[in-house]
Chains A and B, each alone.
Chain A
Amino acid sequence: MEYETSWHREGREEGRIQGLEEGRQGMASLVIRLLNRRVGMIEEAVVEKVRNLQPEQLENLGEALLDFTNTADLERWLREVPPSR
């Protein structure tokens, strides 16, 4: 089953439009998981906000949360998040 990932990526990397949305959802679910782990269970309203972030914002939040220690860090990040392009 070695070819399983590269085939799809090949097509996707160069021509995906819809794939972007699915990939974004995958990232969002992972970020929410990590936030719960990092700063404790986060509220539904915050979960919603994270779910609506753009891929680039999700990557940034993913990196930022490595240094979070509490919910205040997350709230600060969300307040300062630049509007999506």
Chain B
Amino acid sequence: MRFICVGTSCSITISKQLLGTFFAEFIELFLPEVSEYLDKTSFTFLDKELFTDINAGHTHEADLVVKAKFRNGDSFFIVHIETQAQHQRDFPIRFFRYFAKLHEKYSLPVYPIAVLSFDRPRHQQPSLYEVGFADLKVLRFRYRTIQLNQLDWREYLGRSNPVAAALMSKMRIAQEDRPRVKLECLLLLTTLKLDPSRVKMISGFIDAYLQLTSDEMDEYRREVSKLDKPDQEAVVEYETSWHREGRREGMASLVIRLLNRRVGMIEQAVVDKVQKLQPEQLENLSESLLDFSNPADLDRWFREVLPSR
């Protein structure tokens, strides 16, 4: 497990999963103009767009690349979303390079969107990359910037949108409002009528993005106790599911460690499988592994427990 927090400021990557699962809602919330001409019935998520960054000497995987269709007509365009959890000075030029590569590869117009989720710096970030000379402006690359720490959560309070519920928790929040914002996010979530797995996903983001100290937690609980019965029950249920998930993750990380010790380093694919197991399955696996002597024992266990996969 890795827990990285420096002081009170934590860097959290806005989940690609969140943006992918609620892509149309994301566009609707932050870019209503685009929503006007975007055909919401036909997206293709383009997987694993890799950019080789020659200067940085590594490859970068695009956060989200979507092939979208214009509402009126048969033509397509690309939406490219990059998320930034940490401020990086060279972001505009890198973003331009990614843009150029996508544009070249697909020969389609590309709509570039940057989602900035860092707490600091607070001042407005550029949404422009320029190349020019005294006599000639060669290039003026502009992109949309959604800088969460510049947005006021109150303006999103009334929006019936799951992305608002999740991302309000990363917006500009006065210190004393933190418990209340967490609660408001959850209450907004209860009004959305999403299926249970999506509710769980959003509530998990809210929890992860807005971590309360124990004093704030007391304040939060006082607020919860003032709610109507049905809201109160819904909110308490979210909390229970975070606890359950936290415990489950602890168990999974221990089981992975024991497996590495018992049968030798296990592959990433197997690690991923173990991380998805339910608590009872993890208990079962942990007891079984006491008798394992090689990787084949583990494969057999998976075949028996998850026969359908």
Knowing A14-B2, A15-B10 touch, does A7 contact B249 (C-beta < 8 A)? no
Contact with B along A60-76 (1 / 0, CB 8 A): 00110010000000000
Contact with B along A1-21 (1 / 0, CB 8 A): 111111111111111111111
In the complex, A38→B288 CA distance in Å?
Answer: 11
- Among B56-64, B100-108, B206-214, the one that faces the other chain is B206-214
Contacts of A31 in B (CB 8 A): 254
In the complex, which range does the number of interface residues on chain A fall in?
35 or more
**Among residues 1 to 32 in chain B, which have CB atoms less than 8 Å away from a CB atom of chain A?**
1-5, 10-13, 15, 17-18, 21
Contact with B along A25-60 (1 / 0, CB 8 A): 111011101100110000000000000000100110
User: Smallest CB–CB gap between A31 and chain B, Å?
Assistant: 7
Q: CB distance A17 to B5 under 8 Å?
A: yes
Q: Which residue of chain B has its CB nearest to the CB of A13?
A: B2
Q: CB distance A66 to B290 under 8 Å?
A: yes
User: Smallest CB–CB gap between B20 and chain A, Å?
Assistant: 9
Residue from A1, A8, A14 within 8 A of B249 (CB atoms) = A8
Knowing A7-B201, A7-B205, A14-B10 touch, does A26 contact B251 (C-beta < 8 A)? yes
Contacts of B245 in A (CB 8 A): 8, 22
Q: Is the interface of B mostly helix, strand, loop or mixed?
A: helix
In the complex, A12→B111 CA distance in Å?
Answer: 30
Residues of chain B having any CB pair with chain A under 8 Å? 1-5, 10-13, 15, 17-18, 21, 85, 197, 200-201, 204-205, 207-209, 211-212, 242-243, 245-255, 257-258, 261-262, 275-276, 279, 282-283, 286-287, 290
Q: A9-B249, A15-B11, A29-B251 known; 5 other A-B pairs, CB under 8 Å? A: A14-B12, A15-B12, A24-B250, A26-B248, A34-B286
13 A-B pairs within 8 Å (CB atoms) are namely: A1-B197, A7-B204, A8-B208, A9-B249, A14-B4, A19-B3, A19-B208, A22-B247, A27-B254, A29-B247, A34-B290, A37-B287, A66-B290
Residues of chain A having any CB pair with chain B under 8 Å? 1-27, 29-31, 33-34, 37-38, 55, 58-59, 62-63, 66
